[in-house]
Amino acid sequence: MNLLVFLYKTKAMRQLTVTIPDDFYETFINFFKHVPEVSIDDENICEVPLWQQEMVLERIKNAKPEDYVDARASLKKIKDKYGF
């Protein structure tokens, strides 16, 4: 899990990005909540759930060459069909 912690100083601001295990998350957050002038931005905008990551990896592992589609050819078909 990535976490953004802002440490504010009077003249400068520093930004820290931390990757920590999920089971340590609460302890980490509770520690920084008590530090003065710290802002925690805990937005996981693009976080993909673990079950979905596992499903994609399994599909990639089991895929055969004939399962793949050429991206350029697919985009050309869409452009031709819809006029994009």
pLDDT in tens, 38-50: 777 766 556 788 9
Most confident of 2-6, 27-31, 32-36: 27-31
In the chain, count of helices (H) and strands (E)?
3, 3
CA–CA–CA angle 6, 30, 9 (5° rounding): 25
pLDDT at 2: 56
Ordered by start, the domain boundaries in the chain are 2-82
**Percent of the chain whose predicted confidence (pLDDT) is above 70:** 79
pTM: 0.35
Q: Which residues are CB-contacts of 63 (< 8 A; sequence separation ≥ 6)?
A: none
